[in-house]
Chain A
Amino acid sequence: MTERLLRFTVNGEPREVRVADDRRLVDVLRDDLRLTGTKEGCSVGVCGVCGVLVDGALVSACLYPAVFADGASITTIEGIARGGTLAPLQEAFISEGGFQCGICTPGQIVAAAALLAERPRPTDAEIDEWMTGSLCRCTGYAGIRRAIRKAAGG
């Protein structure tokens, strides 16, 4: 058997999808489930634009075998807003100018959401350490850090 039926929840909704065993999670999300908020950049785990949460853990969907996600709970950028209302973290990215071109923004926000889930009041050093490897080529790091700080209430 080189393909199988995967069952997992994506952004709280149960999903079933038949995939070849060697597919990557990023392809299943974007091509099969049409959740194209998750981007693909470097394809080698470096740039961070494909960041998603699998059972709460931040991973690069371009390095993550889809079969590993069987039975898991996945959160993508589409699952950060609730009921059509932007999350405070997303509002903070807007008000603090945490992006310019926007290509890295889904990955930045998913990464930041994972940080705040683990550390609701991160220090600047913790923000920098955690966000390392979420690359922004528009020099937006100061705005991103401000946005995370603001979402953390500080």
Chain B
Amino acid sequence: MSYAYHEPSELDEALALLARHGDDAHAVAGATAFMLLYRQGLLRPSHVVGLRRVRSLGGIRDDGGALVIGATATHREAERSPLVARHCAALARAFASVATVRVRNQATVGGNLAHADPAQDPPAMLLALDAAVTAVSPGGTREIPLAELFVDVLTTSLAPGELITAVRVPALAPGTRAAYVKFLPRTADDYATVSVAATLRRSEDGRVADVRVVLGAVGPTPIRATSAEDALRGAAPDAARIAEAAALARDAADPIDDVRGSAAYKREMARVWTERALRSLVA
């Protein structure tokens, strides 16, 4: 038996449908992740609430220096948006790193975050950029920093029936550089074996004023390698210091053995790609 598909144009209507049908309802945006889970029988909703026509969820805008990407903006829209590119070229690259143009035309930025597969690309970069999602439920609106959004594999801190309306990326401090690197030893359209998102800002004397290092695909959520950051902050980022930080990133990784490699291999690759990302930021 098929589910009943609903396609409201107002956010209130979408929230009301999800509230009314509770566990029997599931939201979809691009439906790329949903279709796979549904066809495997892992989801069996009686009602599906499509968000694609909800007007207030779309679009990409600048809000006083912050970048606000609507939940139903597709990856393709985000990767090609001049606003995204101007805000942070590495973020545009993270969106463009998702699979293929076919997937990016259909999959949405909000759906990606809500799906919370740790091997996805945008989450690590958005976490490095200190982004937060805006979430709404019948009870009201709240901001959830990405560090608190991702709880476990395919698990977020969103409440049932709560929707992401947008992701908000704060203005970067002047002089901040950012990098996103995705290690793809198998095919160009694969999920990452390891990915690294990093931002770095140097003070006038060349020392590291601020740095964030986030590892993707090597744990149940994107992992912020704070020990690596601590090793760099306040230091001159020479080759030795970067190598030291990269070794700490390796220790922060928490991967599993799978088709993309053994846990030991991925840990080592987390080191290698952290070193490369950081070097590119001080070159």
Contact = CB atoms under 8 A, between A and B. Distances in A.
B24 to A, nearest CB: 13
Given A65-B31, A67-B50, A22 B7 contact: no
Interface residues of B, number: 26
Interface in B30-55: 31-32, 35-36, 38-39, 48, 50, 52
B3 A63 contact: no
Contacts of A62: 35
Chain A, interface size category, equals: 20 to 34
Contacts of A60: 102-103, 106
A2 B4 contact: yes
Interface in B8-64: 28, 31-32, 35-36, 38-39, 48, 50, 52
A111 B100 CA distance: 11
A48 to B, nearest CB: 7
B31 A43 contact: no
B96 to A, nearest CB: 9
Contacts of B101: 58, 111, 114, 130, 132-133
Which of A1, A58, A63, A114 is packed against the most chain B CB atoms within 10 Å?
A: A63
Interface in B177-229: 188-189
A43 B5 contact: no
Contact of B188 (A44, A51, A132): A132
A34 to B, nearest CB: 22
A44 B102 CA distance: 12
Given A48-B100, A64-B35, A133-B102, 20 more contacts: A2-B2, A2-B3, A2-B5, A3-B2, A21-B5, A21-B48, A22-B3, A22-B48, A24-B35, A45-B32, A51-B102, A59-B102, A63-B31, A65-B28, A65-B31, A68-B50, A111-B102, A114-B101, A132-B100, A133-B101
Interface of B: 1-5, 7, 28, 31-32, 35-36, 38-39, 48, 50, 52, 76, 99-103, 105-106, 188-189
